[in-house]
Chain A
């Protein structure tokens, strides 16, 4: 895993600390879907995106991504890395 990918992934997991603790969820796999798992609703997901964009100073273009994928931990982390490469 690249450093960028790791830092993106770590940031997301850290942002969700409270929610994960509340539900007693431990380690997350890359295909863990943040929305369909019930961890976040769509508003919670938007809050997370706002935090990510502020942290990495990027604007993620979701229009090219598959919604079934971009709400998974792995794909969302990848999207951050791709956007960092483009900007």
Chain B
């Protein structure tokens, strides 16, 4: 059995076990249950135009937990849930946790083949299907090789009087709270299992640091497959506040939703700022209700932060940072409006969460000089214990440093530290990119294109090239075939059946020979130059 404790020197500010009123540790759902006992009549959730009280949501969650208890065969500790932005999906997640199990979110927007692979990789035997995803079921069933038990996610909302004994079972803090899959460079989605003892310190940290209260109204914009959604839900409910689920139609341009519902806490990827600014939706003082604006998932430029600050004039701007493997975010910076906060035009990612340690290492795992650039490596309670059923990797991102028992995680992020001790994000050590905040391994895109194209060389690049953030992916393909004979649309259609929308190349470019550098390796930089030229040429023809 793997241990879930760490030999981390330095103060651990928060205990990882919080006891409910009757002394049982309930893990991630604890805050929700306690808030529902304290303030049963207060609103917990606003979804699809409906306001739901804590009492009502708890009743639905416990009813779902009862369904799971009766129907779930076998002793699997994980249950998947297929749904999005509905009452059922939130009641379902709480229900899974209330049954003492961990949840695996499945995004209905993903292709059935990918969902089937995730189900297989996570070894689950039961999936809750929410009504909004019911139509996907035939295709998903067709893509699966093993039989799965499908549970009806049509959540019951009977207002049963609360029985004090009717609490979820005590959980082992080492049990998995949720399992998420991220893009993997081998073409296989990579599972990251987060345990209650990883996520509880985060929830406590966020609650203490920001001082939320009952009247706060949190946004829920992130997809449930993106771990920042765990902050939205569980930091909100820990504090007895109300979670406002942003409808699909308002996601890119949420100002009307924010104002109509008088949200106080906004949390999204920074790219929302530039799209809103482009439509002139960020007029001075136009988002007056916000007191906190959190951004994570990609680099926050100072330019974007200034635009947001003008609109959300009463809001603090918090830049948060960290990989799924270190639970939601592990560094944060409260931006004070300083236009010169960093030398590369981004808001610093700030300081590592208390109770954790970091090191900036070079390729030989030696610490870089004080003002040097190194790979950010972290250790502490939020760091997961490794990948879920993963194949061994050439260079395991989870590692131990000489003379220490603590498990460290290499983030792959290139970071420097300024004179104030703030960390600054400067790029990646590998070909992982963020497409509108979504983490994508370009090698995974290459892998699938190579499969479709029967082994042609492929180099996928994020666009704009050489930017910290990107809008989309373009792929270059080495082929001797005549370009007129290549059916780009058919290739892209095949990709669409395998990859989520944000991983699809926007276009393909065919090169007779890939340029090589002096070491005989494919010259990615030269390919990006060629693609820039071709894109410019296309744009010109498009405008004529």
A: which residues have CB within 8 A of B? 22, 33, 35-36, 38, 41-43, 45-46, 49, 59-63, 66-68, 70-71
Contacts and interface: CB of A to CB of B under 8 A. Distances in A.
A67 B280 contact: no
* Residue of A22, A33, A43, A46 with most chain B CB atoms under a 10 A cut-off: A43
Contacts of B251: 42
22 contacts: A33-B249, A36-B249, A38-B501, A41-B436, A41-B502, A42-B251, A42-B252, A42-B253, A43-B472, A45-B252, A45-B275, A46-B279, A49-B279, A63-B255, A63-B279, A67-B250, A67-B253, A67-B255, A67-B256, A68-B250, A70-B253, A71-B249
Given A43-B275, A43-B472, A67 B249 contact: yes
Given A42-B252, A43-B436, A43-B472, 13 more contacts: A33-B249, A35-B252, A36-B248, A42-B275, A46-B275, A46-B278, A49-B278, A62-B279, A62-B281, A63-B255, A63-B279, A63-B286, A67-B256
B489 interface: yes
Given A43-B471, A46-B279, A67 B252 contact: yes
B283 interface: yes
Contacts of A70: 253
**Chain B: interface size category:** 20 to 34
A23 B271 CA distance: 26
B254 interface: yes
Contacts, number: 55
Contacts of A35: 249, 252
A70 B501 CA distance: 22
When A and B form their complex, which 7 residue pairs have the shortest distance between CB atoms, in order from nearest?
A42-B252, A68-B249, A62-B279, A67-B253, A42-B275, A43-B471, A46-B278
Contacts of A42: 251-253, 271, 275, 436
Nearest to A66: B256
B269 to A, nearest CB: 11
Interface string B232-259: 0000000000000001111111111100
B501 A67 contact: no
Contacts of B501: 38, 41
A81 to B, nearest CB: 18
Contacts of B286: 63
A57 to B, nearest CB: 15
Nearest to A63: B281
A60 B252 CA distance: 17
